[in-house]
Structure 1
């Protein structure tokens, strides 16, 4: 993989609750010098108004490049555009289901499909609870296809003192799946 592709990650943010995870991922990736290609769903923009004071332009400014969700001709819609993979955080059940069934009606699902077909890392920070058997079957199907399903579940061994501590730890663990080293994870049994 070229040096450029090794430092390039597609980031999707959907309308599931938990947009703070996506925002923090973009911030940390920017600090790490990773080129980010953001896909923001229409539902994510709506959720952002409920959960933050940010505007869409503020969020887009955190990414190296951003694409409209309907831009099926975007660079990230092609396997010839090399990346280290794709992180979708938070990932809605709808998006998860589209990816599992091969529906590529939006750039989000198309870019995820590209990651899978090119055997690149696809990490889905699923944000839903409780889960019914259909959700669980979909997660199994995605895992069988090569995706990493990583529900956004906080860890408490790090003794978080704030919501930021919980978000940081979770985002850091998601980025670990791409071998992106950050200083935001308090690791088990490490000083």
Structure 2
């Protein structure tokens, strides 16, 4: 599956949007900004989904994922503050003091790093599986499906050739005969 595949981009964008909007809305409500209305949450989800789909055309590095995550969470904070009920709450919530700025920065960095690790794990799995993922059943019937061939094969264990010996340094044979075609010699120390 290529980096720019629409299904892969959409799945990655949905994960990014759910995490960013969920963390920012939860932090907003926890900090006393009130619950986010469904209309504002939906608009935030669609906007974040669009941004994530646009930047998700290729595998992203740590700086890109962390930077986009922190930036989107900052914009979501401003959106949630603007949409909060009550003029007094909006004016005091929009004022970023040092403590709130540090919290946003730390949460943005941690969330971005977590998303980057997930992104790198996804690309690693795709490389291991031959750059293909199983297609979900809900996709249209005409969607192409790539059959994955294994990267290695399992071979049977070969018995040792006749006359071959296995020397074990310091080994002591205490019970049972040696393995077929393999004689054990004990080397004195």
* TM-score normalised by length of structure 1: 0.22
The structure that is strand-richer by fraction is 1
The structure that is helix-richer by fraction is 2
* TM-score normalised by length of structure 2: 0.22
Instruction: Answer with 1 or 2: which has the greater Rg.
Output: 2
